[in-house]
Amino acid sequence: MHTLKRTPLRHALAAAAFTCLATLMAAANPNKTSIASPDHRLRVDVSLKPDGSPVYTVARDKRPVLDESNLGLVRADADFSKGLSVVSVSAAESVTDRYEILTAKRRVNTYQAERRVLHLATADGKKLDLEFQVSNDGFAFRYLFPETDAARHTLKDELSSFHFQPGTLAWMQPIAVAKQGWCQANPSYEEYYSKGVPVGTVSPTGAGWIYPALFQSGDSWILVSEGSLPRGFCGSRLRAESPDGNYRVGFADPREIVPGGAANPESTLPWTTPWRLVVVGSLKTVAESTLGIDLAEKPAAGAAAMAEPGKASWSWPLLGDPSTTFDVQKRFIDYAVEMGWRYTLIDALWDTQIGYDKVKELADYARTKGVKILVWYNSAGSWNTTPQTPRDRLLTHESRIQEFDRLKAMGVAGLKIDFFGGDGSSMISYYRDILDDAAPYGFALNFHGATLPRGWQRTYPNLMTTEAIRGLEYVTFEQANADQEPTHAALLPFTRNVFDPMDFTPVVLDKLPHTERKTTSGFELALSVLFTSGIQHYAEIPEGMAKAPDYVRDFLRHVPSVWDDIRFIDGFPGKFVVLARRAGDTWYLCGINADDTARKVVLPLRKLGFSGSGSLIVDGGQGNLSFRQETVSAAGKPVELTLEPQGGFVMTLGK
């Protein structure tokens, strides 16, 4: 049987057929609007129910992905969730964007989508625009109040939902209850994920589920998130309860605020909300998607990152607060020099245990060695009781500028800012105030104890990374956390780290100070490639690194900080993952096995366009720092590799 090849003519015929079909459907139902992806595999249908409430459905390859899901907002002065009518619908418009970013999994990205806008109105004439964009890897929608009004308006509620089919499974992180946890520092996006649970499962914290949230429905994988979070809007989450698998957007807890500030969104008009975005496709589609960055707010005209991605030495995770001394930090500068890393991070209490003048001395010393200094700050005001200092110096524009001037004069290159207070609109504005004020100084920024950045790294090129994950520090705290690390790490490339840089602070090759490590050294080495972060803070200390074979140290010297491409090879959330990343002409492969039994993986190296030989580093036996290096060839059949239980590998394929 002959098949029609994918030619420009075929795409033109398909587009014409879809346009004709959409026209016929619109004639039959004038309140229904369809938007298809450029490849016509994904379709979103938007309509009004008899009561004037907007809804949508989603299909992939003509099979349902999302059942009837809700749309709409409730403003304090008007209800835009029902009683609406369609004033007009824009013609389909092709959207294309091409951009470069240094803190993501792909340096140069091209976004293509089809866009339509529904112009809606309430019975008394108040206007709401509903904008949909559908790309080959997913879709997104947002709301716009187009009228002009200098008075401030407040959103009371959002009706947007994602209604999954029966039998769908979910991998989601519950959000912690506000003002709970150590020193009332929650929420900080640092809980363990519920893995493969049926949709409709209630959040164990009762406070909801954070983004990105991953779902499997038949042969489709769906990742739900939020993008382009503006000043004056709160960070949202999925509500704790999802009857019939219908997950509704929820606003921040009223306690997640800068004291005296607002929790719910507030703005003058016109007013545009964040994107609600959904990746739809295979697991490969999810792992390779940049949709959350594609839809992020573009940087201001002329804005460019004066900070550079890189790797950092860091004493705190294995040595703790007592290591924040002049002599230890000087030793870690020398460690960064020996490893060829760009940065050294001086953590909490530097202001009291070292002092401003001596930190300047360290910065001067580091500069002579080609290393830059990062310093830690406590963002907190009265919203929590975290005691680490310096504290309270970033709370106002005036105090920030005073501190930033002082740091710049000292030769400091960037700040790690910790212990934020959640997702209320006033707290989101505080994040953006810091980003705005720091940008002219060129400081590399890293937010810890923080919310998901939701694409801010594109809007602010100096934002290198954000924690927003239960990272390695927890592995050092309690054995239960160390036991969880393998499955937790194998989930993150499909959830937290899909769009946004993640400061997990990976790689302990030797031993942990208070717990027994459950991963192999090969597993830990693989995290240096597996996780994306503009600045990658390595937890291993000089003494542990010195025990590693020369070829392992050499790998960590040269592993890139900026990636040109990514390929998903194999994996399953929480079980195992194999990825390939390219920097220039060199491919770096990595893989981890979270299971307690060995796993075979197949590496189709020729599919990467590579036919030469490369270097493999894999676990070499029992105990810490046990590695094996060998040469592999891509000239023949795919390479088969057996991963040890909780083991891993890295491979370099260079020209």
* CATH number of the CATH domain containing 599: 3.20.20.70
pLDDT band at 356 (very low <50, low <70, confident <90, very high): very high
The mean per-residue pLDDT over the stretch 196-204 comes to: 98
**290 phi and psi angles, rounded to 5 deg:** -120, 25
Domain boundary among 259, 294, 329: 294
Terminus-to-terminus CA distance in the chain, angstroms?
Answer: 41
CA dihedral 481, 483, 486, 489 (to 10 degrees): -10
Domain boundary among 267, 294, 321: 294
Between CA 94 and CA 109 the distance in angstroms is 17
Domain boundary among 261, 278, 294: 294
pLDDT band at 306 (very low <50, low <70, confident <90, very high): confident
134: domain CATH number is: 2.70.98.10
What is the residue type of 139?
F
pLDDT of residue 29: 54
pLDDT band at 18 (very low <50, low <70, confident <90, very high): very low
pLDDT at 421 over 90: yes
Q: Has residue 96 been placed in a domain?
A: yes
Among 90, 75, 79, smallest CA distance to 129 is for 90
pLDDT of residue 633: 87
Tally the domains of the chain. 2
The mean per-residue pLDDT over the stretch 187-212 comes to: 98
Percent of the residues in the chain that have a pLDDT greater than 70, as a whole number: 95
pLDDT of residue 1: 30
CA-to-CA separations, 299 to 104, 278, 303, in angstroms, rounded: 15, 23, 6
pLDDT at 383 over 90: yes
Q: What are the tens digits of pLDDT across the range 526-539?
A: 999 999 999 999 99
Q: Has residue 424 been placed in a domain?
A: no
Q: Has residue 177 been placed in a domain?
A: yes
The mean per-residue pLDDT over the stretch 565-577 comes to: 98
- Residue 236 is part of which domain span? 8-294
Q: Has residue 188 been placed in a domain?
A: yes
Reported as half-sphere exposure (CB side, CA atoms, 13 A), residue 56 has a value of 26
Q: Has residue 358 been placed in a domain?
A: no
All residues at 6 or more sequence positions from 21 whose CB lies less than 8 Å from its CB, including other chains: 34
pLDDT of residue 27: 40
Both tokens of 206, joined, read: 């009762």
Both tokens of 616, joined, read: 């493999």
Q: Has residue 253 been placed in a domain?
A: yes
Under the phi-then-psi rule, with left for phi > 0, alpha for psi from -120 to 50, and beta for the rest, what region is 76?
Answer: alpha
The mean per-residue pLDDT over the stretch 407-412 comes to: 98
The mean per-residue pLDDT over the stretch 395-404 comes to: 98
Contact 467, 449 (CB under 8 A): yes
pLDDT of residue 330: 98
Q: Has residue 447 been placed in a domain?
A: no
Reported as half-sphere exposure (CB side, CA atoms, 13 A), residue 514 has a value of 14
**334 phi and psi angles, rounded to 5 deg:** -60, -35
Counting every residue written for the chain, the total comes to 655
Cα-Cα-Cα-Cα dihedral sign, residues 186, 188, 191, 194: positive
Q: What share of the chain is helix, strand, coil (3-state, %, to 5)?
A: 25, 35, 40
Q: Has residue 57 been placed in a domain?
A: yes
pLDDT band at 22 (very low <50, low <70, confident <90, very high): very low
pLDDT at 419 over 80: yes
pLDDT of residue 636: 77
